[in-house]
Chains A and B, each alone.
Chain A
Amino acid sequence: MGKRPEITTDKDVQKKMVDTGQNIANQIKRGDNPAITLPVRNLNNVYFDKESKTIKLGDKTSQRQFLNIAHVRKFMQTTLVANEVNKVLAEKATVSIRDLYYAMKHTIPGTQEESFSGQEESDPLIEDLEAALDLLRENMNLIATPKGRIAGNLQVKDGKDIIDATKMGSSGWAIPSNVEPEKIEIKNVDAEYILFIEKFAVWNRFNEDAFWKKNKCLIVTSNGQPARAERRLVQRLQVEHGIPTYCLMDADPWGMYIYSVIKQGSISLSYSEDRLANPTSKYIGLTISDVEKFKIPKEVTIKLNQGDLARIKQMKDYEWFKKKEWQQELDLMKEKGFKLELEALSRKRIRFITEEYVPQKIKNNDFLP
């Protein structure tokens, strides 16, 4: 991917959409098999960039062809997305990717088939266009439904509003979908680290116990796989203010993979990891060895299933899991045959996680890289 121009105006983006359409129309007029060239966004075309320590997109491209029975539906849908994005920009509106999906959804005349059967069909096509046209979703005036939360000593300016994340009560500040500097200005922040928590329920424990106040940190949750906004925000806090991120996840392949997405990026968004990945992040836990270290009773562990074992095998092969600590951790999980949820620590004591586990880990610098 080339360098992204600093400012992309709506007009620039519109031109890219129209050019894409015109290019296809010209192919049709010439009698060629119409095709759209797209970067390949799968494991075959990503690599771990040792310099930036993030996942990056390779330069393999593929052709999405109209005259290929396996492609034609996606080809059609791609033209619909380009057209709809152009319309959104022309109307100077900002819409959610769900809005976009509904705007394009209709029954194809003469059939009982729908142009899009679900949002999961339109979302990857938006990513395709982002990658192919070197754009960000935000440039296309598209936003995702936000669900991230943050609390701690952070003050930002969102449009005309000043937000103080110390005064957001029990729910914290809901991270908006667009946290680019032109939308969200970080006015003030006073924290030694960011605690990134996988689950909202666990984040709630930390917020209720005013963990951020006592430990001078920010607490963030993505409630599952993080959206871009949460990742972009913690990256900005790292880049602009030098605040490191520590991650607190379930000790299972999925939790560990979420950590790796926060740290070095995901395969499907590999085209824009320079703006999302946060390579200095560290993994607090849970780890399998915590079970012995903190004398966690065996009954609260969960037996690994076939899916977990397959995922462990897959992850061990990823370039970015090749560090020996991670190989050991994954091997240990496989050997012990169990996984562990964050909530399991409540078996020790409700506040064990906020009063003992996390403070002790941070104090001892007991992290996985």
Chain B
Amino acid sequence: MIFMADEKKEEVKTQHADKIFQDFKEHSVADFFKKNKQMLGLSGKIKTMTTIVHEFVTNSIDACEAAGILPDLEVKINELGSEHYEIIIQDNGPGIPKKNVGQALGKLLAGTKFHKLIQARGQQGIGASGAIMFAQMSTGKPSVVESGTNKEHYTVEVGIDTKNNEPKLGEMKDLTTAFKGTKIRCQFKDIVYRKGESSPMEYLRRTAIANPHCSIKFRDPLGETFEFHRASKDIPPLPIEVQPHPRGATIDELLSMAKYSQSRKTAGFLKNDFDRMGDKAIDEIQKMVEFDLNKDPKKLSWEEAEQIIKAFKKINFIAPRTDILRPIGEERLEKSLKKIVEPEYFAVITRKPAVYQGYPFQVEVAVLYGGKAGRDNEGTETGKAIEIMRFANLAPLLFESGGCAITKAANAVEWKRYGIKDPETAPLTVLVNLVSVHIPYTGAGKTAITDEEEVFEELKLALMDAGRKISHFLTGKRVAAEKEQKRKTFLKYATEVAIALSELTGEKKEMLEKKLHELVLKRLKLEEEMSDDELRELKATEKAAQKEAWNEDDDKEEE
């Protein structure tokens, strides 16, 4: 939450960041950046474009939420030349005070969220400052920031001194108009805008779905504008930060936590910096390790840390807190889905929180049928196919879908059992949001989720729950369609019968037809009032009657 006008938090962050970047002194930040492009989600020209939008949008929403403001976002992308774009993003957040703008946007803070266990959209992304650095590296130009707080309204050019990882600010120009929020304008080269499933447009659409309290306007490079209106006026409660649960800790993590610990003894460090760690646990650990837990945590060796981790695995800790997770929520999700996907029917399921490897997590899914649900699939009868929307902590995942546990879980569901004949031709959208203080990504790119057993199981159960709900609807739909079919059948034959009888007997055709129509409607109403059992019985007699009506013709004359 870089845009937050909370000085105390900023101080803590920058302090950490300084320490982190001490290690990179001999290299420039730019080098680090180049070498870790992939890790930062900036590989591939199309993907980079979407990642940049993601970073800005995430920061804006986080800032608004923290300040209790309903986010209004505007994203514009202009094509300036071949693989050369300008991206402009504006929010109505609290704004950035002049004195913080350099720290907030002109200094790379990668990794500062690393040991914080909190459900966050950005996770370990590059942040807005990373995007600004990328702009500078690809075009040589600083970005233009305009910000308005309650007190000031100004504009300034922001760049980064990549050698020292220090902000390079231009002249602050005060503006006199009233403005609250932040507007960033930057240019990029070596990126490409493409429509489709991994485009910024799709990213924003999905962001609007998972964040119904956001209003998002978008103008694409062709000048086309899209608007996703706010579906809910509730700002979701902020997630709560927790200390890591011992079950999830790794040696590397333990050591780096120890380095920044305020405690002077390892026992104190463990007790203060881990969740669910009591005196009893410390005593047990002491019995299992070969060194004194009074040791300075900063001096722990790899082997000693390993002994602690091994001890962690043997102790029965209380399960981690799960009340800190903030899913989208069934009600809110329903609102945005109705507004944006307009399905014929949908089911939303939020599972209870669960735990994997000491990390609390929670799964929510929505299965949508009909309307704008499903992705376009020309050449099929419906023109649609199953669309899988993946989210991690409310942020859309658009890449590496094949290797993602969510995709695998969605494909593992036997949709046929829920009345969906072939997902490849069904107007079906499956939405999955995984929330956790620690999303188990497959790799540094953080675009796909690994199939942790507990997570995978929850994903499947949630999808099956939603599938069952959908199947009730589809059954109902089929019954309604059958009834309509029946009505049409009776009525078309009624006219034929009326004509034939009228010719045969001289009775009035209109009278016969009208009476037959009345009979049909009366009959269908009667069937409607029947219970399921009665209907089943009726169907059985109709079938039997059908058999009887078809006289055996195995010895039919050839004539």
Contact = CB atoms under 8 A, between A and B. Distances in A.
Chains A and B come from one and the same complex: yes
Given A72-B489, A76-B497, A83-B503, A268 B552 contact: yes
Given A62-B545, A115-B496, A267 B555 contact: yes
Interface stretch (B120-128, B275-283, B511-519): B511-519
A97 B556 CA distance: 15
Given A72-B490, A224-B558, A266-B555, A62 B519 contact: no
A227 B551 CA distance: 18
A144 to B, nearest CB: 4
Given A28-B515, A31-B515, A67-B490, A82 B504 contact: yes
Interface string A5-49: 000000000000110011011001101011000001111100000
Query: What is the interface residue range for chain A against chain B?
Result: 35 or more
B519 A33 contact: yes
Interface of A: 17-18, 21-22, 24-25, 28-29, 31, 33-34, 40-44, 62, 64-76, 79-80, 82-83, 86-87, 97, 108-111, 113, 115, 123-124, 127-128, 144-145, 224-228, 257, 261, 266-269, 314
B505 A22 contact: yes
Identify the interface centre among B494, B497, B553, B558: most chain A CB within 10 Å of its CB. B497
A18 B504 contact: yes
B538 to A, nearest CB: 10
B486 interface: yes
A28 B489 contact: no
A109 B495 contact: yes
A75 B493 contact: yes
B496 A76 contact: yes
A74 to B, nearest CB: 6
A17 B501 CA distance: 10
Contact of A70 (B507, B523, B543, B556): B543
Nearest to A257: B555
Given A227-B559, A257-B555, A86 B504 contact: yes
A267 B556 CA distance: 8
A61 B386 CA distance: 52
Contacts of B489: 69, 72-73
B480 to A, nearest CB: 15
Nearest to A311: B554
A158 to B, nearest CB: 20
A196 to B, nearest CB: 15
A303 to B, nearest CB: 22
A29 to B, nearest CB: 6
Given A40-B551, A42-B548, A225-B558, 15 more contacts: A29-B507, A31-B515, A40-B548, A66-B497, A69-B486, A73-B489, A83-B500, A108-B495, A108-B496, A128-B551, A224-B558, A225-B555, A228-B557, A267-B551, A268-B557
A28 B512 contact: yes
A38 to B, nearest CB: 9
Given A70-B542, A71-B545, A113-B492, A31 B518 contact: yes
B549 interface: yes
Contacts of A145: 559
A358 B512 CA distance: 63
Contacts of B555: 225, 257, 261, 266-268
B493 A25 contact: no
Nearest to B495: A109
Nearest to A227: B559
B531 interface: no
Contact of A111 (B492, B554, B557): B492
Interface in B527-555: 542-543, 545-546, 548-555
B508 to A, nearest CB: 10
Contacts of B486: 69
A60 to B, nearest CB: 9
B355 interface: no
Interface in B461-514: 486, 489-490, 492-497, 500-501, 503-505, 507, 511-512
B137 interface: no
Contacts of B504: 17-18, 21-22, 79, 82-83, 86
B546 A71 contact: yes
B69 interface: no
Interface of B: 486, 489-490, 492-497, 500-501, 503-505, 507, 511-512, 515-516, 518-520, 523, 542-543, 545-546, 548-559
B519 A28 contact: yes
Contacts of A267: 551-552, 554-555
Nearest to A87: B503
Contacts of A124: 551, 553, 556
B14 to A, nearest CB: 75
A83 to B, nearest CB: 4
7 contacts: A31-B518, A44-B548, A66-B497, A69-B490, A79-B500, A108-B496, A144-B559
A226 B557 contact: yes
A67 B490 CA distance: 7
A255 to B, nearest CB: 13
Closest 6 CB pairs of A and B: A70-B546, A21-B504, A144-B559, A225-B558, A42-B552, A79-B500
Nearest to A29: B515
B333 to A, nearest CB: 41
Given A25-B507, A70-B549, A80 B559 contact: no
Identify the interface centre among A18, A76, A80, A224: most chain B CB within 10 Å of its CB. A76
Identify the interface centre among B489, B501, B511: most chain A CB within 10 Å of its CB. B501
A269 B557 contact: yes
Identify the interface centre among A68, A87, A225: most chain B CB within 10 Å of its CB. A68
A70 B545 contact: yes
B493 A76 contact: yes
Nearest to A225: B558
A110 B492 contact: yes
A75 B494 CA distance: 10
Contacts of A109: 492, 495
B246 to A, nearest CB: 67
Nearest to B559: A144
A29 B558 CA distance: 40
Contacts of B542: 68-70
Contact of B505 (A21, A33, A44, A72): A21
A124 B490 CA distance: 22
Nearest to B524: A67
A361 to B, nearest CB: 26
Given A21-B505, A72-B493, A268 B556 contact: yes
B492 A25 contact: no
Contacts of B556: 123-124, 225, 266, 268
Contacts of A41: 551-552
